[in-house]
DNA sequence: CCTACCGATCGGTAGG
DNA sequence: CCTACCGATCGGTAGG
């Protein structure tokens, strides 16, 4: 009786969630245009027309991927926010969680958003940008605190763009190696960004 | 008699060059898969089959775009290298030229390379990566000099990835405003990256 | 969710 | 470099 019934609206439940995850993987690997509906369908063992039982269009699948990414990202990010942390430790925690969001295997949603944003209709962009702004606001607060402690010297708004940009671009070059962890990487990011 | 004759091999001469420039613009705006051969042809006033008189395939146009980007990029970058500059000034000069390469209007080649690299065949990737490495080596030298002067505290190789990554990601968010110049932006980048 | 199919568009080609 | 066309593949749909 504790299990979700058919009324469950969990975004990754059932076949719909399978499609979203498979699409995210394929969009990340081949791009939105490069991943065909047939490839997405086959990746979850369906025939080529069947995803359209769950989604009205390919565009709607992309929207679902980005929404799921923002939802998970905001959830994980809010979970490491703690007023008791000093600025540097709060920043390190944010860097760690962001690196896991964009680099950890299976976390394809945010990379898809970052590199396929322009494939979204204007309407969907406008709607989703509000959630993106929430994400940015969390970072801005943490970076403002760094500035107050003298740990960065740039304008905090510019620093946010540089910091998130340098991490987001890691998607294009980071290859997971057995030796090093994302924790080590996070330490290096903090060391690079802060002057102390 | 000083003008180039039909023997000229200048990469941007004539209709071939027109195609490469138009394709770069479209690849940047819509992505490699999103820009059709018909759109490229029409952008230079050709019919849909005519670009194939100049290029064997769409892939070959992408290769030409990336090659032209690397050629121009290396040329402009080498032009600002000067052993007489102190580390910080050399770094500023490199940042300035890199920002112009990726953000100035009409400079679509390197952005296409950065965001459509995976659309290149493995063979072409392998061949072009050698030139990319030359590019990186110039930056690495300049950043090693910064480290020697104590202006950065990270490992120089990691610093290079962070610095170029933060700039390369600007392609996704920078909008040219009438007020501010790339020079101002370059100053801010240097201020953020160096601890002094 | 499958079967069978649609019109549109794709990259590319032959012949001139 | 244009004309006219090719086979393949695309996103999407009707009917069950």
d(CA B91, CA B145): 9
Contact call for A165 and B165, based on CB within 8 A? yes
Provide residues of B within 8 Å CB-CB of chain A.
30-31, 33-34, 114-115, 117-119, 152-155, 158-159, 161-170, 172-173, 188-189, 191-193, 195
For residues B27 and B21, the answer to whether their CB atoms sit within 8 Å is: no
DSSP label of A172: G
Please report the pLDDT score of residue A176 as a whole number: 87
Which tokens belong to B191? 């201020």
Please report the pLDDT score of residue B69 as a whole number: 98
State the residue for tokens 């390190």. Answer: A92
DSSP label of A195: -
Three-point CA angle B101, B107, B108, nearest 5°: 115
> Can you tell me the mean pLDDT for B162-187?
94
| Residue-wise pLDDT tens digits, B110-147 | 999 999 999 999 999 999 999 999 999 999 999 999 99
Please report the pLDDT score of residue B1 as a whole number: 35
Provide residues of A within 8 Å CB-CB of chain B.
30-31, 33-34, 114-115, 117-119, 152-155, 158-159, 161-170, 172-173, 188-189, 191-193, 195
Cβ-in-10-Å burial (0-12, 13-18, 19+) of A189 comes to buried
In a domain, residue B52? The reply is no
d(CA B158, CA B178): 34
In a domain, residue A63? The reply is yes
Alpha-helical (H) ranges within B104-121 are 109-116
Asked whether residue B5 carries a pLDDT value surpassing 80, the answer given is no
Please report the pLDDT score of residue B11 as a whole number: 56
Contact call for A117 and B172, based on CB within 8 A? yes
Which tokens belong to A67? 């929404």
Q: Which residue of A has its CA nearest to B113?
A: A172
Measured CA to CA in angstroms, residue A123 lies from A30, A111, A118, B175 at distances of: 24, 20, 11, 20
d(CA A119, CA A68): 16
Alpha-helical (H) ranges within B4-120 are 14-30, 37-43, 51-54, 58-79, 87-103, 109-116
Cβ contacts of B166 on chain A, cutoff 8 Å: 161-163, 165-166, 169
- Among B147-156, B163-172, B177-186, which stretch is predicted with the lowest mean pLDDT? B177-186
Domain enclosing residue B70, as ranges: 57-193
Of B26, B135, B165, which to mutate for an interface test with A (greatest number of A Cβ within 10 Å)? B165
In a domain, residue A130? The reply is yes
Please report the pLDDT score of residue A11 as a whole number: 56
R_g (Cα) of chain B, nearest Å:
18
Q: Which protein residue has its CA closest to C1' of D10?
A: A36
Residue A56 CA, nucleotide D12 C1', distance (Å)? 9
CB-based contacts of B40, cutoff 8 Å, min separation 6: B19, B22, B23, B26, B51, B61
Asked whether residue B181 carries a pLDDT value surpassing 90, the answer given is yes
Q: Residue B175: which region, alpha, beta or left (left: phi > 0; alpha: psi -120 to 50)?
A: beta
Mean pLDDT by 10 residues, chain A (196 residues): 39 86 97 97 95 97 98 98 97 98 97 97 96 97 97 97 98 88 97 91
d(CA A60, CA A63): 5
In a domain, residue B8? The reply is no
Which tokens belong to A56? 């009205």
In a domain, residue A21? The reply is no
In a domain, residue B114? The reply is yes
Nearest to A165 among B30, B166, B191 (CB): B166
Three-point CA angle B116, B119, B125, nearest 5°: 95
Asked whether residue B196 carries a pLDDT value surpassing 80, the answer given is no
Measured CA to CA in angstroms, residue A195 lies from A98, A154, B15, B61 at distances of: 21, 11, 51, 44
Q: What's the structural domain count of chain A? A: 1
Helix, strand, or coil (residue A166): helix
DSSP label of B85: S
Nearest to B154 among A114, A161, A188 (CB): A188
Nearest to B165 among A34, A118, A169 (CB): A169
Contact call for B152 and A115, based on CB within 8 A? no
Q: Which of B75, B91, B190 is nearest to B142 (CA)?
A: B91
| Residue-wise pLDDT tens digits, B8-64 | 444 567 889 999 999 999 999 999 999 999 999 999 999 999 999 999 999 999 999
> Can you tell me the mean pLDDT for B186-191?
98
d(CA A148, CA A156): 10
Please report the pLDDT score of residue B171 as a whole number: 98
Cβ-in-10-Å burial (0-12, 13-18, 19+) of B2 comes to exposed
Give me the total of CB pairs closer than 8 Å, taking one residue from chain A and one from chain B.
79
Name the phi and psi angles at A108, rounded to 5.
-95, -10
Return the percentage of chain B with pLDDT > 70, whole number: 94
In a domain, residue B44? The reply is no
Asked whether residue B3 carries a pLDDT value surpassing 70, the answer given is no
For residues A105 and A99, the answer to whether their CB atoms sit within 8 Å is: no
- Among A80-94, B66-80, B88-102, B169-183, which stretch is predicted with the lowest mean pLDDT? B169-183
What 3 state SS string does A48-111 have?
CCCHHHHCCCHHHHHHHHHHHHHHHHHHHHHHCCCCCCCHHHHHHHHHHHHHHHHHCCCCCHHH
Chain D positions within 7 A of any protein Cβ atom are: 1-5, 9-15
Please report the pLDDT score of residue B13 as a whole number: 75
Provide the CATH number for the domain around residue A71: 1.10.357.10
Find the helix or strand (DSSP H, E) in which B57 lies.
Answer: none
In a domain, residue B26? The reply is no
For residues B134 and B179, the answer to whether their CB atoms sit within 8 Å is: no
Q: Which residue of A has its CA nearest to B116?
A: A31
Q: Which of A93, A70, A73 is nearest to A81 (CA)?
A: A93
């Amino acid at each position: 009786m504790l299990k979700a019934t058919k009324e469950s609206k969990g975004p990754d439940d059932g076949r719909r969630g399978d499609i979203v995850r498979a699409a995210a993987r394929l969009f990340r690997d081949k791009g939105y245009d490069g991943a065909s509906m047939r490839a997405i369908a086959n990746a979850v063992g369906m025939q080529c027309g069947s995803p359209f039982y769950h989604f009205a269009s390919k565009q709607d699948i992309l929207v679902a991927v980005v929404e799921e990414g923002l939802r998970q990202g905001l959830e994980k990010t809010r979970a490491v926010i703690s007023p008791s942390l000093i600025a540097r430790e709060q920043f390190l925690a944010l860097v760690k969680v962001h690196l896991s969001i964009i680099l950890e295997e299976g976390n394809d949603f945010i990379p898809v958003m970052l590199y396929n944003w322009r494939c979204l209709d204007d309407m969907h962009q406008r709607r989703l940008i509000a959630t993106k702004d929430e994400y940015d606001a969390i970072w801005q607060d943490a970076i403002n605190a760094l500035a107050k402690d003298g740990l960065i010297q740039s304008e905090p708004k510019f620093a946010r763009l540089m910091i998130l940009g340098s991490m987001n671009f890691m998607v294009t070059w980071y290859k997971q190696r057995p030796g090093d962890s994302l924790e080590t990487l996070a330490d290096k990011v903090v060391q690079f960004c802060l002057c102390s």
